């Protein structure tokens, strides 16, 4: 894709977000602050009135937290870190192990889905950077989805590809997550993420029959 075409797509996203804000909508963005999150975060930084939510599970790599802080300052973002209402002491399975080891689906629910659901219920527009080329589940999503609670999910990057993300990243000299150089392609919580070069999301929930945290699966047609 040529630079003008890519920038035209980017401008369209900013214009759409600006319309939401101008219409008085409560607009939020959820972001994992990975390298591939940067193009959307950069676009959102051009539109005032959007709060960015980072789901702080308590299990993130220290590098991810440092990267979040770096990007927040560099782009001038309004970032709020969300935490689970359930303490880690209460997140223990029947065999006495933390839930990420015994029940990763419930662990994701308590630390990611439940906190974000509270925010979504109080918002009009929930922006997410999911892309169709990331997984079979995401391939089935639509650009706009109205949830059962009335909140509209907006997926502006849905048809962007890996090369487009990389191209935008380079053109705007955006920073990269420090774990990229150590072979991590998709970075989640430290206990469940492995550095599997070239596998895209294959390093997430490594060794488990799990590909999604639960934030997006209810939107599949």
Least confident of 30-34, 51-55, 179-183: 179-183
Count of structural domains, the chain: 1
The predicted-structure confidence for 42-63, as pLDDT tens digits, reads as follows: 999 999 899 999 999 999 999 9
The predicted-structure confidence for 91-144, as pLDDT tens digits, reads as follows: 988 888 888 778 888 888 999 999 999 999 999 999 999 888 876 777 778 899
CATH code of the domain covering residue 114: 3.40.50.620
Handedness of CA 55, 56, 60, 65 (dihedral sign): positive
**CA atoms in the 13 A half-sphere facing the CB of 5:** 5
Question: Per-residue confidence at 219, pLDDT binned at 50, 70, 90?
Answer: very low
Question: Domain limits at 198?
Answer: 3-219
Least confident of 26-35, 49-58, 210-219: 210-219
Please tell me the pTM assigned to this model: 0.87
Which among 118, 76, 124, 150 is positioned nearest to 215, based on CA atoms? 118
User: Which listed residue (108, 189, 192, 213) is catalytic?
Assistant: 213
Please, which residues bridge with residue 125 across strands? Answer: 27, 152
Structure tokens at 164: 């487009």
- Using CA atoms, how far residue 92 sits from 109, 140, 144, 216, in Å, is 14, 34, 37, 25
189 is known as an active-site residue: no
Packed helices 162-171 and 3-22: angle between N→C axes, nearest 10 degrees: 90
For the chain, the average pLDDT equals: 87
């Amino acid at each position: 894709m040529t630079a003008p075409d890519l920038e035209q797509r980017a401008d369209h996203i900013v214009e759409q977000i600006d319309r939401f804000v101008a219409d008085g909508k409560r607009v939020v963005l959820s972001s994992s602050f990975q390298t591939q999150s940067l193009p959307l975060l950069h676009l959102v930084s051009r539109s005032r009135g959007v709060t960015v939510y980072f789901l702080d599970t308590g299990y993130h790599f220290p590098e991810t937290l440092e990267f979040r802080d770096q990007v927040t300052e560099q782009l001038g973002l309004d970032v709020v870190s969300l935490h689970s209402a359930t303490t880690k002491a209460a997140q223990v399975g029947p065999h006495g192990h933390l839930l990420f080891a015994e029940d990763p689906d419930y662990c994701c629910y308590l630390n990611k889905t439940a906190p974000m659901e509270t925010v979504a219920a109080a918002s009009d527009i929930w922006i997410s950077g999911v892309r169709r080329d990331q997984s079979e589940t995401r391939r089935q999503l639509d650009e706009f989805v109205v949830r059962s609670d009335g909140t509209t999910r907006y997926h502006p990057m849905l048809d962007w590809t890996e090369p487009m993300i990389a191209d935008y990243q380079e053109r705007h000299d955006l920073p990269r997550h420090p774990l990229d150089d150590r072979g991590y392609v998709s970075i989640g919580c430290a206990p469940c993420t492995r550095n599997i070069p070239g596998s895209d999301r294959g390093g997430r929930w490594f060794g488990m029959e799990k590909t999604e945290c639960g934030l997006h699966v209810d939107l599949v047609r």
